[in-house]
């Protein structure tokens, strides 16, 4: 499975299918803990070029809900861009709705599709469109005595429940199984209020989405880059966590970073999904790049100094990117939020990335990610269509 020649079988089983459960999320965090160099921060001098306003860094806890945290953070920045006062949107309300829809889809597909915590950036837009939104203060998802998300027990029960439904012991499905399944989720995450008060006014999830958050879900586009599909057309994003088989636009690999650059320059932030389990990603040091030399060929000294100041990188081509995806070297194991652009002391550009693992690293919850890393390791990006370069928008037939 994924990087099976350097990772144990457990990593392959957990990560190759995306962040499907809390065990995979916890394994992912632990797997990158060793990727660090001493005194790394002292060896970098970053100067910000673009810095998009955003809400504070959050912590997703022991849950595979990075996709919800990153894309809801993105929506909060959209509120700021539109001149609204940002509100922390309940990430677990979004996830709760996705769990319900995913369970229905799982049964409809006879169990032959991904289940668990994992999801895609577009899930946040799709759940917003169907269910609306809630403020975090109204729906925390902490309904069983914990201070942080801890979903392993719920996930195990959901999986067993849906497996029983798929087996169809009655010979035909009852009309009650969805209600029962939803009740299990709500017993852990909390009942969804039909209405609630926020800052002295009464809302429903739908009116809160419309009147307070105020985005138009039809204004957002998701893109990726693959050589085995036609460019500038929609395609199914072939990653396990795309449980609803949603479509994305296919563009050339260099256009991924062109799009991000254009969006940031125009004041739009960008949702990012991709792979962070490479040796070139250091959560502790807050730097991600693609080393020019394979890790296996490095000396012990080179390995120790991987994140000690700017390093040479591999140049990423469409062929290299596609091979990494085909070999499971690039999978959909994490989601984050691109909020700016910075340069190191040599003038090299990095994207400023907001993570959802708390403010626990050298840059208080942020990662500086090179453009080569983005080209190689992205599985999808999400942005407002206004952030697309005009010529590219025409190519994919998106009206701005």
Helix (H) or strand (E) holding 390: helix 390-395
Q: Within a 13 Å sphere around the CA of 25, how many CA atoms are in the beta-carbon half?
A: 24
- pTM here is 0.93
Tokens standing for residue 301: 């000294």
- How many CB atoms sit inside 10 A of residue 327's CB? 12
How far from each other are the two terminal CA atoms of the chain, in whole angstroms?
A: 41
Beta bridge partners of 235: 248
* Cα distances (angstroms) measured from residue 257 to each of 297, 310, 380: 29, 20, 12
The per-residue pLDDT for 399 is 96
Beta bridge partners of 50: 341
The per-residue pLDDT for 23 is 65
CA–CA distance, 280 with 146 (Å, rounded to integer): 34
The per-residue pLDDT for 17 is 41
Q: Which residues contact 40 (CB under 8 A, 6 or more apart)?
A: 282, 284, 285, 286, 287, 307, 308, 309, 362
The per-residue pLDDT for 65 is 94
Q: Which residues contact 326 (CB under 8 A, 6 or more apart)?
A: none
The per-residue pLDDT for 4 is 38
CA–CA distance, 400 with 397 (Å, rounded to integer): 9
Nearest to 278 by CA among 16, 8, 32: 32
The per-residue pLDDT for 145 is 81
Q: Which residues of the chain, if any, have pLDDT below 50?
A: 1-20
The DSSP code for 186 is H
The per-residue pLDDT for 3 is 41
Residue with tokens 């949107």: 89
CA–CA distance, 125 with 273 (Å, rounded to integer): 14
């Amino acid at each position: 499975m994924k990087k099976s020649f350097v990772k144990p079988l457990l990593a392959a089983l957990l990560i190759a299918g995306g962040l499907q459960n809390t065990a995979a999320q916890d394994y992912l965090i632990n797997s990158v803990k060793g990727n660090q160099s001493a005194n790394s921060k002292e060896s970098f001098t970053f100067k910000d070029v673009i810095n998009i306003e955003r809400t504070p860094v959050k912590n997703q806890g022991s849950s595979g809900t990075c996709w919800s945290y990153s894309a809801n953070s993105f929506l909060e920045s959209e509120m700021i861009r539109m001149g609204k006062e940002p509100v922390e949107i309940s990430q677990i309300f979004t996830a709760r709705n996705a769990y319900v829809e995913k369970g229905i889809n799982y049964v409809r597909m006879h169990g032959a599709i991904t289940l668990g915590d994992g999801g895609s950036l577009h899930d946040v837009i799709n759940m917003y469109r169907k269910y609306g939104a809630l403020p975090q203060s109204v729906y925390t998802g902490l309904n069983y005595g914990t201070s942080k998300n801890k979903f392993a027990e719920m996930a195990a029960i959901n999986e067993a429940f849906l497996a029983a439904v798929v087996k169809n012991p009655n010979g035909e499905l009852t009309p009650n199984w969805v209600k029962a399944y939803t009740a299990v989720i709500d017993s852990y995450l909390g009942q969804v209020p039909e209405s609630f008060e926020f800052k002295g006014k009464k809302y429903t999830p739908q009116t809160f989405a419309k009147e307070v958050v105020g985005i138009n879900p039809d204004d957002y586009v998701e893109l990726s880059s693959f050589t085995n599909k036609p460019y500038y057309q929609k395609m199914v994003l072939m990653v396990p966590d795309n449980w609803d088989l949603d479509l994305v636009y296919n563009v050339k690999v260099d256009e991924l970073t062109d799009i991000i650059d254009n969006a940031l320059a125009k004041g739009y932030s960008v949702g990012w999904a991709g792979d962070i389990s490479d040796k070139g990603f250091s959560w502790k040091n807050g730097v991600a790049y693609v080393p020019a030399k394979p890790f296996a060929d490095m000396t012990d000294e080179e390995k120790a100094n991987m994140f000690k100041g700017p390093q040479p990188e591999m140049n990423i081509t469409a062929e290299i990117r596609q091979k990494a995806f085909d070999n499971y070297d690039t999978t959909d194991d994490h989601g984050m939020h691109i909020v700016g652009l910075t340069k190191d002391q040599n003038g090299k550009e990095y994207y400023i990335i907001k993570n959802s693992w708390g403010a626990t690293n050298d840059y208080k919850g942020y990662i500086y990610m090179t453009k080569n890393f983005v080209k190689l390791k992205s599985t999808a990006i999400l942005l407002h269509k206004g952030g697309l370069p005009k010529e590219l928008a025409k190519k994919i037939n998106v009206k701005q």
